[in-house]
Every structure is written in C-alpha cells, then in structure tokens.
Amino acid sequence: MSLFIIDQPWGSTTIGEKVAEFMADGILHLETYFDEDGMLRRHFNIIKMRGTNHSKNTYEYDISKKGFSLLGLTKSKRVE
C-alpha cells in the first residue's frame, strides 16, 4: 500500500500531481478555507481508497490537543 502526502496550495482547486494521484492507493483530502461569514472551515474527503467502498461524503473536522476529530457531515457550500 502506498501513501502520498501532497501539499495543496491555499486557494488551489487541484489536489496534486496527476502521476502521484494515479500511483497512490489512497488519497485523503484535508481542505481549509474561509466561508462567506469569514469563519475558518475544515473539510475532509476520501478521494480514493483502493479496494474499499468508502464514504463519498464531505465531513467537517477539527484538530485539537486531543487529536483529529470528525465533527459530522458538511451541509455548507464552499465559497470561491
């Protein structure tokens, strides 16, 4: 199994280099942006996970002293 970590520049709409995305067995996408109210938002998606029937939903997440936590399904829309 391969794991690639790719840094997505702030404001970019692409995930990474196409060859790395093809080669990886799994791609976990962590996104940070500001919503229309100026609130910092964090979203998590499983873009690709070979051999599994993974969730296609988007989840909000938080990183705290206790670690990484999924907060629930996202209902808000991203503002570009």
Q: Is 33 part of any domain?
A: yes
Q: Is 39 part of any domain?
A: yes
Give CA separation, 11 vs 26, 33, 38, 63, in Å. 23, 8, 15, 20
pTM of the model: 0.69
Q: Is 69 part of any domain?
A: yes
- Full pLDDT tens readout for the chain, 80 residues: 666 666 666 777 666 566 777 778 888 888 888 888 999 888 888 888 889 999 889 999 998 999 989 898 876 555 44
Q: Is 80 part of any domain?
A: no
The parent domain of residue 42 ranges over 18-73
SS (H, E, C) the chain: CCECCCCCCCCCCCCCCHHHHHHCCEEEEEEEEECCCCCEEEEEEEEEECCCCCCCCCEEEEEECCEEEEEEECCCCCCC
Q: Is 7 part of any domain?
A: no
Q: Is 3 part of any domain?
A: no
Can you give the pLDDT at residue 9?
67
Q: How many domains does the chain have?
A: 1
Can you give the pLDDT at residue 37?
93
Can you give the pLDDT at residue 7?
61
Q: Is 34 part of any domain?
A: yes
Beta bridge partners of 40: 34
Q: Is 63 part of any domain?
A: yes
